[in-house]
């Protein structure tokens, strides 16, 4: 389903070729990607499949549907609901969330090809991650409460801050110079201003009373007068 922030309406998107849970999903370069997952039963074809929906396809006068892309080499990415992080024309994903031993792969959108994640990037991917403007990846090491930023030239993660309130954070989102995550108990949203000169500043915003954060997205600033 698709939410249009301007009209406030939800509409149906094109149907997926196969129903799936525990899949990897993410957005990059104006397209939504869904990879792997399991339907009512495990199926190797579904667990290895990758589908892409070009959200602007109507505007580009292309067909409004999911396109089959290059398959994954195996079905290993079907055991957890994973965020595919859109970054520099690529989609990065790991096979399991949290700090467990994992495998990481990167999809090159233009080449429609899959490759291994660089060693340093994979080693530091120990919790939720999100990309700012599809340019810079931030991740929280959820056991240490450590926020870091990926340096692709050196294939290392630069440490930005350690804070108790970042421990166990999930559902990371990054936009407008801020990195936000839902706190371990879901009662608050932890916000870090990563655009300001260091040291980075952190504060918390309470979730609406009676609600727990189960997903986090930052919408663009809205204006009905936008042309
Ligand atoms: C993820 O990948 C790692 C490394 O290949 C493997 O040890 C682990 O069992 C996988 N986890 C799941 C949940 O598939």
Q: What spacing in Å lies between the alpha carbon of 174 and ligand 1's midpoint? A: 27
Tokens standing for residue 26: 């993410």
pLDDT at 227 over 60: no
> If you average pLDDT over every residue of the chain, what do you get?
90
Q: What spacing in Å lies between the alpha carbon of 40 and ligand 1's midpoint? A: 22
pLDDT of residue 61: 61
Report how far residue 63's alpha carbon sits from residue 150's, in angstroms, rounded to the nearest whole number: 36
pLDDT of residue 2: 86
170-198 mean pLDDT: 93
98-125 mean pLDDT: 93
Closest atom of ligand 1 to CA, residue 76: 14
Beta strands in the chain (DSSP E): 2-4, 9-11, 24-28, 31-35, 50-54, 66-68, 82-87, 90-94, 104-108, 113-116, 129-132, 136-141, 146-151, 156-162, 170-175, 178-182, 188-193, 201-206
pLDDT at 224 over 70: no
**Residue 174 near residue 138 (C-beta atoms within 8 A):** yes
**Rounded alpha-carbon distances, angstroms, from residue 165 to 30, 172, 174, 181, 197:** 33, 13, 17, 10, 21
Point out which residues pair with 89 in neighbouring strands.
none
Residue ranges in 63-174 assigned as alpha helix (H): 119-124
pLDDT of residue 57: 64
Task: Choose between 227 and 126: higher pLDDT.
Answer: 126
Look at ligand 1, atom 8, and give the residue with the nearest C-alpha. Answer: 102
pTM of the model: 0.91
Domain annotation for the chain: domains and CATH numbers: 1-117 (2.120.10.80), 127-227 (2.120.10.30)
pLDDT at 226 over 60: no
Per cent of the chain over pLDDT 90 is: 65
pLDDT at 31 over 80: yes
Point out which residues pair with 50 in neighbouring strands.
35
Which tens digit of pLDDT belongs to each residue from 136-147? 999 999 999 999
Look at ligand 1, atom 5, and give the residue with the nearest C-alpha. Answer: 103
Look at ligand 1, atom 1, and give the residue with the nearest C-alpha. Answer: 102
């Amino acid at each position: 389903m698709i939410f249009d922030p301007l009209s406030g309406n939800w509409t149906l998107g094109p149907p997926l070729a196969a129903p799936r849970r525990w899949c990897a999903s993410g957005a990059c370069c104006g397209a939504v990607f869904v990879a792997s997952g399991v339907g009512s039963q495990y199926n190797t074809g579904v667990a290895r499949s990758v589908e892409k929906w070009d959200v602007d396809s109507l505007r580009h006068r292309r067909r409004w549907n999911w396109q089959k892309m290059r398959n994954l080499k195996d079905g290993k990415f079907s055991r957890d609901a994973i965020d595919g992080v859109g970054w520099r024309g690529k989609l990065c994903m790991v096979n399991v969330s949290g700090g467990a031993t994992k495998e990481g792969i990167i999809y090159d959108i233009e080449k429609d090809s899959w490759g291994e994640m660089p060693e340093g990037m994979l080693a530091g991917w120990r919790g939720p991650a999100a990309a700012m403007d599809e340019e810079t990846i931030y991740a929280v090491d959820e056991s240490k409460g450590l926020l870091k930023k990926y340096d692709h030239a050196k294939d290392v993660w630069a440490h930005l801050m350690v804070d108790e309130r970042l421990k166990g954070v999930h559902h990371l989102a990054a936009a407008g110079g801020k990195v936000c995550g839902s706190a371990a108990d879901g009662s608050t949203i932890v916000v870090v201003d990563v655009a300001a000169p260091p040291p980075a500043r952190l504060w918390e915003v309470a979730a609406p009373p009676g609600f727990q954060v189960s997903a986090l997205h930052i919408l663009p600033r809205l204006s009905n007068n936008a042309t």
